[in-house]
Chain A
Amino acid sequence: MTAPPDIEPPIGLLAELTHRCPLHCPYCSNPVELDRRSVELSTEDWKRVFTEAFELGVLQVHLSGGEPTARKDIAEIVGHCADVGLYTNLITAAVGVRDGVLDELADAGLDHVQISFEGVEDEAADRIAGLKGAHAAKRKLAERVIALDLPLTVNAVIHRANIDLVEDMVRAALAMGAKRVEVAHTQYYGWALRNREALMPRLDQVEAALATVQRLRDELKGQIVIDAVVPDYYARLPKPCVGGWGRRSLNVTPSGRVLPCHAAESIPGLVFDNVRERPLAEIWLQGQAFNAFRGTDWMPDLCRSCERRDLDFGGCRCQAMAIAGDASETDPACAKSPLHQRLLDMATEASSSAEIDYDYRRFL
């Protein structure tokens, strides 16, 4: 298959360096089938991937996981990225991070740190993460980030158990010294889909949280930037998922598979090339998975004729897969989708379910 001639180079690369993580968050964005340590790419493999990424046009790399600092070569990887000219962003759970690692990363040229937070109080936050002591460890690492003069983003993952704490979480982020906070409403793929009944907030809670964000944005302007999106199940317009399929970013899994988005493996029929077997540029330009939903030819008429098709690029293929059972259908988050009402009904039903235990993330 040859690539269409108008493919732009990607801007960002999400590197899932490992799926290992000390936490068990029930909404983990990793796939349900996790890669084991034995299949992880080597240090040299990753370095080659980052060199190829820069040559392809990538500007920023997001070093994620699992927990990226679980890899002993994390400083070597950061140093290599900085050497080739990539902007490096560490996305960390901030738990089980060996003392001194952050200092090593700062010396190696790390540009930015993002730490996920589950709440504002130790006990409640630790219950969500499935590990005692997790919240205290996060607070401690956040302090070190600020002490090293690195910019800090707090990623506040929002769901039923903490949605009423949005204001507290934003104010806690500000108090920590974060310049930016992401109010990240849980999206229901993978582990979160398994836990949808336990995690889904009510519509009125989501509306209140969005209003809170708006109020805090005005109040805290110039002090902290607040990014937030409407969660799919309660949206009217679909999100421009990953900035459009195969348009701006790509994802490399711990074992080297290259995906257009982190949940793409939930779509059957896609072929994911591996960096062990093919150069990254070739995968980006010619890979079957990347060309499957590029442009507008794949779209149903409803999307192809829509005036927003170049704004949201048809929304999220994985959400179409999860709800419509067909990845080339209209994203059900869109109010024009025939399944939109069903999505809202699913949310309403899930949000009214009784308190149930999490099915915590684990290696199956």
Chain B
Amino acid sequence: MTGVPDDAVPKLPRGVKLREDKARGGWTLMAPERIIKLDPIAHEILKTVDGERNVAAVVDDLSARFNAPRDQIDRDVKAMLASLAEKRFLDL
């Protein structure tokens, strides 16, 4: 998939949701007949996906909160969002 534009507004569609997995610990992304176990970074990224903020705002927020280089966060966030969109777990 080609680049995710800065002004795209990522949104979890109906049927895809963040859920805590109390039995095993950690967080998951629940999707149709799929359960994706999230590492802490993926969880942080998805927590910022609210259907209102665009990709640039998500990257700004994360790089400020984690005091990390913006270009690296930008790359990681876009790669993850593109991968989820390809699986139809995310609207862009």
From 39 to 70 in chain B, residues with beta carbon under 8 angstroms from any chain A beta carbon are none
Q: Please report the C-alpha to C-alpha distance between residue A337 and residue B86 in the assembled complex, in whole angstroms.
A: 38
4 shortest interchain CB distances as A-B pairs = A57-B23, A151-B15, A179-B88, A112-B32
- Across the interface, do B14 and A150 meet the contact criterion of CB distance under 8 Å? yes
Is chain A's interface secondary structure helix, strand, loop, or mixed overall? Answer: loop
Q: Which residue of A lies closest to B28 (CB)?
A: A59
Interface flag for A96 (CB, 8 Å): no
Q: Is A9 on the interface with B (CB-CB < 8 A)?
A: yes
User: A31 near B: Cβ within 8 Å?
Assistant: no
Cβ–Cβ contact A89 & B33, under 8 A: yes
B residues less than 8 Å from A85 (CB atoms): 19
Q: Which of A221-229, A257-265, A300-308 contacts B (4 or more CB under 8 A)?
A: A221-229
User: Once the chains bind, are B24 and A57 in contact (CB under 8 Å)?
Assistant: yes
Q: Whole-angstrom distance from the CB of B19 to the nearest CB of chain A?
A: 7
The answer, yes or no, to whether B9 is at the interface (CB within 8 Å) is no
15 contacts between A and B (CB under 8 A): A59-B28, A59-B30, A60-B33, A62-B33, A85-B19, A87-B30, A149-B13, A150-B15, A151-B13, A179-B88, A180-B32, A180-B88, A221-B86, A222-B88, A225-B88
B78 proximal to A (CB < 8 A): no
Whether B35 is near chain A, meaning CB under 8 Å from some CB there, is: yes
Q: Given the interface contacts A11-B35, A59-B28, A151-B32, does A222 sit within 8 Å of B15 by beta carbon? A: no
Nearest CB of B to A55, in Å:
8
Q: In the complex, A280 Cα to B87 Cα: how many Å? A: 33
A8 and B16 alpha carbons, distance in the complex (Å): 24
The closest CB in chain A to the CB of B21 belongs to A59
Residues of B within 8 A of A32 (CB): none
State the B residues within 8 Å of A (CB): 1, 13-17, 19, 21, 23-24, 28, 30, 32-33, 35, 85-88
A76 contacts B by Cβ under 8 Å:
no
**Chain B residue contacts of A9, Cβ below 8 A:** 23-24
- Majority secondary structure of chain B interface residues (helix, strand, loop or mixed): loop
A311 to B46, CA, bound (A): 30
Interface size class of A (residues with CB under 8 A): 20 to 34
The answer to whether B35 touches A112, judged by C-beta atoms less than 8 angstroms apart, is: no
**How far is B24's CA from A111's CA once the two chains are assembled, in angstroms?**
22
Distance in angstroms from A250 CB to nearest chain B CB is 14
Is the Cβ of B88 less than 8 Å from the Cβ of A59? no
A209 nearest CB across to chain B (Å): 21
For window 195-224 of chain A, which residues contact chain B by CB distance below 8 Å?
A: 221-222, 224
Provide the residues of chain B in CB contact with A87, threshold 8 Å: 17, 19, 30
**For the complex, what is the distance from the CA of A46 to the CA of B22, rounded to whole Å?**
22
Asked if A56 lies at the interface with its beta carbon under 8 angstroms from chain B, I say: yes
For chain A, residues 1 to 25, give those with C-beta under 8 angstroms from any C-beta of chain B: 8-9, 11
A222 to B82 alpha-carbon distance, docked (Å): 9
Quick check: is A153 within 8 A (CB to CB) of the other chain? yes
Interface residues of A in 128-176 (CB under 8 A from B): 149-151, 153
Q: What are the residues of chain A within 8 A of B1 when measuring CB–CB? A: 221-222
- Give the contacting residue for A59; candidates B14, B15, B35, B86; CB below 8 A: B35
Query: Which residues of the partner chain A approach B23 to less than 8 Å between Cβ atoms?
Result: 9, 56-57
Contact among A56, A57, A59, A151 with B19 in the assembled complex (CB-CB below 8 Å): A59
Q: Is the CB of B87 within 8 A of A225?
A: yes
Beyond A9-B23, A87-B30, A153-B33: 20 further Cβ-contacts under 8 Å?
Answer: A9-B24, A56-B23, A59-B35, A60-B30, A60-B33, A60-B35, A87-B17, A111-B17, A112-B15, A112-B32, A149-B13, A149-B14, A150-B14, A151-B13, A179-B88, A180-B33, A180-B88, A222-B85, A222-B88, A225-B87
Q: Which residue of A lies closest to B23 (CB)?
A: A57
CB-CB under 8 A from B15, the residues of chain A are 111-112, 150-151
Query: How does the 8 Å CB contact mask read for A67-98 relative to B, with 1 for contact and 0 for none?
Result: 00000000000000000010101000000000
Q: In the assembled complex, how far is the CB of residue A186 from the closest CB belonging to chain B, in whole angstroms? A: 19
Chain A residues with CB under 8 A of B32: 89, 111-112, 114, 151, 153, 179-180
